[in-house]
Structure 1
């Protein structure tokens, strides 16, 4: 696999993980506030 493809894949994985973490964090925050 070309290195550029690997870098793009890692960026996508990190973006997905960040989205999941932010989403779960927002849900937990709303649960605590309400």
Structure 2
């Protein structure tokens, strides 16, 4: 049902958020090195 789909979306968005945070962290580290 929709509840299961919403749960999956929450997980996917959560993983995407973590990946985005990692990319942002890499960018800030690169800026610090400069």
Q: Return the TM-score normalized by structure 2.
A: 0.86
CA RMSD between the two structures? 0.6
Residue ranges of structure 1 left out of the alignment (5+ in a row): none
Residue ranges of structure 2 left out of the alignment (5+ in a row): none
Q: Return the TM-score normalized by structure 1.
A: 0.86
- Off by >3 Å, runs of 4+ in structure 1: none
